[in-house]
Chain A
Amino acid sequence: MAKKLTIEFSEEQAMMLDTATAFCSEKSPVAKVRALLETDAGFDAEIWSEIAGLGWQGLAIPEEFGGSGLGLAELVPIIEPMGRHLMASPLVPTTLAAQALITAGTAEQKQRWLPLISAGSAIGTLGLNESHGDWDLTNLICEASIADGQIILTGEKYFVADAAVADFILVSVRLDGNPALVLLDRAAIEQGSLTREVIIDETRRCYRFDLTGISVAASCLLDVEKTMASLDLITRASWLLLSAEIAGGIAGVMDVMIEYLTTRKQFGRYIGAYQALKHPMAEILCQYEYSRSQLYYAASIFDTDKEAEIALRMSKAQGSDTFAHAGDRAIQFHGGFGFTYECDAQLYLRRANWCQYQYGDAHHHRRKLADLLL
């Protein structure tokens, strides 16, 4: 039998979970979520500064750069309730951009950006996806060449989160045949190079970023030697934080379903009394518990190398499928109302779809797990 599996969760993390749960539930009621759908930024700047007051942007940034110096997994109990309440913020892209800088940024890049991020004064994001839709971040069409101390970029990045409000964007490109990361600050982002994408999850903002014609100083390049390690960390961190968002999302969509099942009557009975709805609801509960257990285990061992990949892929695969299924059933269980835009179930179904197809869907991860485990 395999070795013992334990889930580590400290008192501090428990307090963080309580704080974040209360914060997200209070600040992100569904009316607010819906109001933000109509806005350009997609999130509330006031909430973003309150988040800064709570120190969440700097949680996983070393103390020397003004952060709290904690591990990335400490964000899990924050991102989970944000997912439950569909709270919009650029916290995840900013966190990932900060992690990329921590692993591969030059001393100067770190010094310039990390303290600003810690203080909540800068938003960072990443441009890693491309037109082919491949989850392999090293499959790069975008290119860079260096001439006369300038980096010249070509190609288009897809799904650049919150790019319109970002103070800097890290983009991945192929340089001399190898992946490289380039930091582009606001001044380098040309007018008209960002086009807002129409995406399935309307609580988010993503942009297509046309790199062609951009040229910046070579000092904008991140350490080429550390780029692969950085991409690997970004990938793993994305799996973890997406899994957290997913676990929260499942809880959120279950809230919507249970509310309806206990208040809607048909044929003289609350519909939740019918086993045709009750049993699948119980099954979703069980799969949710699995998802959450996988999530917090992956968080517990995030910093270990070999086992973490297995745990993270399992967490992403389990959560993605459960969320997609729960979102799908949420529509069906609402009957005719479920078919309308007004029903909140669609917010979660769209979110579930988004999460499934970011950083590998369940099938992709199981295929990778097969090679790791069999």
Chain B
Amino acid sequence: MSESEAELDRFREEVKQWFEKNTPPPPDFILPDSFMEVGTDAQFHYLRDWQQKVYQAGYLGMSWPAEYGGGGKPLMHQNIVDAEMARLKVPFMINTIGLNWAGPLILHSGTEEQKQAYIKKILSAEEIWCQGFSEPDHGSDLGNAQTRAVKDGDEYIINGSKIWTSLGDYAAHMILLARTDPDAKSKHAGLSFFLSPMRSPGIETRPIKKLTGEYGFCQTFFNDARIPADCLIGKEGEGWQVAMTTLAFERGAVGGQAGGQSSIAIEVAEVVELARHVQREGTPAIEDPLVRDQLVQFLMEERSLRLNFARIRVPALTSERPMSIPMSGKLMASEFRRRLCRFAVSLQGSNANLYMGDDDVIDRGRWQRSYFNAFSATIGGGTSQIQKNILGERVLGLPKD
């Protein structure tokens, strides 16, 4: 059933009004740029309350089945809400891992019990989710995960350690990749995937201080932690396939996410504004021809990213390599953001050396912080270098490394 443009426009207007009325005022502390950067309790509570409010208004998980707490509505509605949230730059949804990775995975591959148990609380942010893929000794090489899961009656005993656990100290659950069969024929075949509780004896989190000087990640330790056997999702030994499905959700390569923004978008227009307000040789930096050229390149790139996503809606224009745009999205968007933020720092002249916390730092130091934090996306979810391997091998058909 398709709705008329007029109906959708009405809905868009209603959404716009709701967000204009209900978006909380900015707090007196600096908010993180993304769900991966939540470092204080104040930030956490502010953002969780916000997600709760958006869900209660019916603006989250709109296309998820109503029987599990979703809206049971066409995806178009969520897309409209997401676009409005981005346009109005409202705070992002804190439970991104639940909303966009774990949730779609559970709906796709989970049991009825798992769907009943988890989906609604993901949407309401009552239960925060985190991800346990990377390990201290092999960041991008997920297939080599060494955390052990040994079946013991109706439980698994987990031992090992996971790193870069965003929201680890706030999470109720973790999507966990662990090795159930160390002697399996291939390293991938020995892996299994769990929806693990986090607040359980033997599971401990230790916050990691980031290069920005803030907290935001944890290392998670499992010492003979016992989790129920029905935490398994997929079959034992299928962990690699399940992880790949999850990564496809994470990278946006397939649909099914609950919606909501997971970070504050940085637009080139903001950097253009910055260039108007900083000086070069006594005149605004925006008059410098080289600055202008850089800004235009960023504007072109920003538009190219958006146009790629416009083009994937036209199958005739992506049929030769259908996965090219979906699989390059994370690489291109994260590298773009990193370079843009670095450029914004460079525009500040000697003030580029001031940092968050100084009274005179430009824009509360957001550009310096955003530049440093931008590495979380160029490294997390498979580094840019790994992404280029994937594109080379799976999209271009080049031989394996």
Contacts and interface: CB of A to CB of B under 8 A. Distances in A.
Interface of A: 1, 4-7, 9, 13-14, 17, 254, 258, 261-262, 269-270, 272-273, 275, 278-279, 281-283, 285-286, 289-290, 292-294, 296-297, 314, 317-318, 363, 366-367, 369-370, 373-374
B1 interface: no
Interface stretch (B57-65, B185-193, B311-319): B311-319
B325 A289 contact: yes
B33 to A, nearest CB: 16
A367 B300 CA distance: 12
B267 A278 contact: no
Given A314-B303, A366-B297, A367-B293, A285 B399 contact: no
B112 to A, nearest CB: 39
Contact of B295 (A289, A293, A314, A370): A370
The 3 closest A-B pairs by CB, nearest first: A14-B316, A293-B307, A290-B304
12 contacts: A272-B399, A273-B400, A278-B398, A279-B392, A285-B321, A286-B328, A290-B308, A293-B304, A294-B304, A296-B314, A317-B300, A374-B296
Contacts of B76: none
A272 B396 CA distance: 10
Nearest to A8: B314
B314 A1 contact: no
A292 B303 contact: no
Contacts of A273: 398-401
A269 B399 CA distance: 9
A1 B306 CA distance: 11
A367 B306 CA distance: 22
B397 interface: yes
Nearest to A265: B399
Given A5-B303, A281-B396, A367-B293, A289 B324 contact: yes
Nearest to A21: B320
Contact of A285 (B317, B389, B396): B396
Interface residues of B, number: 47
B316 A9 contact: yes
A363 B297 CA distance: 10
B296 A370 contact: yes
Nearest to B331: A286
A1 B150 CA distance: 50
Contacts of A262: 397-399
B396 A9 contact: no
Contacts of A7: 307, 310-311, 313-314, 317
B192 to A, nearest CB: 31
B383 to A, nearest CB: 11
Contacts of A294: 300, 303-304, 307
Contacts of B389: 275, 278-279, 282
Interface in B374-401: 385, 387-389, 391-393, 395-401
B304 A318 contact: yes
B385 A285 contact: no
A314 B300 CA distance: 6
B93 interface: no
Interface in B279-334: 286, 289, 292-293, 295-297, 299-301, 303-304, 306-308, 310-311, 313-314, 316-317, 321, 324-325, 328, 331-332
A1 B328 contact: no
A292 B312 CA distance: 11
B316 A17 contact: yes
Given A281-B392, A292-B317, A293-B311, A370 B399 contact: no
A261 B328 CA distance: 20
Nearest to A365: B296
Contacts of A281: 392, 396, 398
Contacts of A13: 316
Nearest to A273: B399
Nearest to B316: A14
Interface string B318-360: 0001001100100110000000000000000000000000000
B292 A370 contact: yes
A314 B297 CA distance: 9
Q: Which of B267, B304, B395 has the most CB of A within 10 A?
A: B304
B388 A282 contact: yes
B21 interface: no
B401 A374 contact: no
A369 B299 contact: yes
A13 B399 CA distance: 35
Contacts of A296: 311, 314, 317
B296 to A, nearest CB: 5
A279 B272 CA distance: 31
A285 B326 CA distance: 13
A78 B37 CA distance: 48
Contacts of B267: 1
A6 to B, nearest CB: 5
A190 to B, nearest CB: 45
A258 B396 CA distance: 7
